[in-house]
Amino acid sequence: MNYPVVGEHVLGAVQGNWWSRRRRRDDVPSLPPGAVYVFRVGGNYRQFPEGMVFDPSHADVLDASSVSLVDTRARMVAVERTVPSVSEADHFTVQASFACQVTDPTVVARQGIIDVTVPLRAYLAGDSELPRVSAGHRVEEVNAVRREVSHRMTAYSAIVTPRVAGMSVEFVSAEVHASDDLRNWEQKLRDERRSQELLRGQRDFETQDTQRIAELLSQGSDYADAFGITRNRIDVAQAAARIHRTTDEDSARRNRAAEEDRAHARAREIADAQMRRDTVLTLLRQMGATDDYVDYHQVLEQVLRDGGGSAVPAVEPGPGRPGPDGPRRLNSGTDRPHDGFVKDEDDLLD
């Protein structure tokens, strides 16, 4: 950087008589803002009066062999130094910042300090303890190195103050930068982490949206239609027509179900009646085929009470063969049937 001396120019000798000697204005470069002229006259350096209008007939201007343009404004100057880490493959970069300002432009011009970072880098390199601060840390531990380097530079600048001839220099701060490889790696991890977080966020939003839609649909089609109408996704006339069509379909489906239930009930009644008839016929056949005494009144009462149940009442023989005073079999052939007995199957059905 060109600071504090921003330019140096050689001046030729001025020819002419003593009363007519004048230096051409083009021989002296224009002065930038914040800078002053320092002319070399013989072996001395003399500053042109600051704030004074440039006079080409001034004695220092006429006798000068060269001119320096010195910037007197305060500047913040940063210099860097690399320090090792625990690994030979990596290192840290220490950046120290100094507040600088020219106090004596003639001294600065005499020293020819074109770039003030040169003496400041030499000052920073003079701290032999600085590499030991970072040598025990891995490159990933850059925050710990920053803290220790800041403490070290504060102590070093207090004991050994930075000095540049003709200038005031003050240590301001120290920063530690990791290597470019680590920076690129951390940036890659950061980008990947952000992309994963973005993906998780998108999935969470999709899940929430799915749950919301499921809750919406669980409240019925009418609510879903109303929601679609408010969002201008469904036309009111179309929704009304679909609701009317759905209502008609539901009514027709209920009517079909009722018809099927009635038909099933009729079929069951017919089957039950047929089963009762079959049961009676089976019972009568069994009674007609046995030679034992049968109490038809008891059988008839049981048939009427069961109403054609699943179990067929068994025909049991009487307690014993009838005696001379008891009732006799229907088809004995000789005696007249008893008045309280059924004569045949037709009488039982009646």
150 and 81 belong to one structural domain = yes
Exposure b/e, 159-194, CB count within 10 A at least 16 = b: eeebebebbebebeebebebbeebeeeeeeeeeeee
58 and 89 belong to one structural domain = no
Last residue of a domain, one of 127, 153, 180: 180
81 and 51 belong to one structural domain = no
Specify the pLDDT at position 304: 66
Specify the pLDDT at position 322: 45
Tell me whether residue 156 is in a domain. yes
Tell me whether residue 130 is in a domain. yes
Determine phi and psi for 233, rounding to 5 degrees.
-100, -20
Mean pLDDT by 10 residues, the chain (350 residues): 93 74 84 94 92 85 93 96 90 96 97 96 95 91 94 96 96 91 84 92 90 78 73 72 80 90 92 85 76 67 60 45 43 46 52
Last residue of a domain, one of 180, 205, 226: 180
Specify the pLDDT at position 19: 65
DSSP 292: S
Report d(CA 327, CA 336) in Å as an integer: 10
Tell me whether residue 17 is in a domain. yes
151 and 165 belong to one structural domain = yes
Predicted structure pTM score: 0.57
Specify the pLDDT at position 209: 82
Tell me whether residue 240 is in a domain. no
Specify the pLDDT at position 296: 66
60 and 88 belong to one structural domain = no
**Domain span at 176:** 75-180
Contact indicator for 85, 46 with CB cutoff of 8 Å = no
Specify the pLDDT at position 344: 54
128 and 61 belong to one structural domain = no
Tell me whether residue 249 is in a domain. no
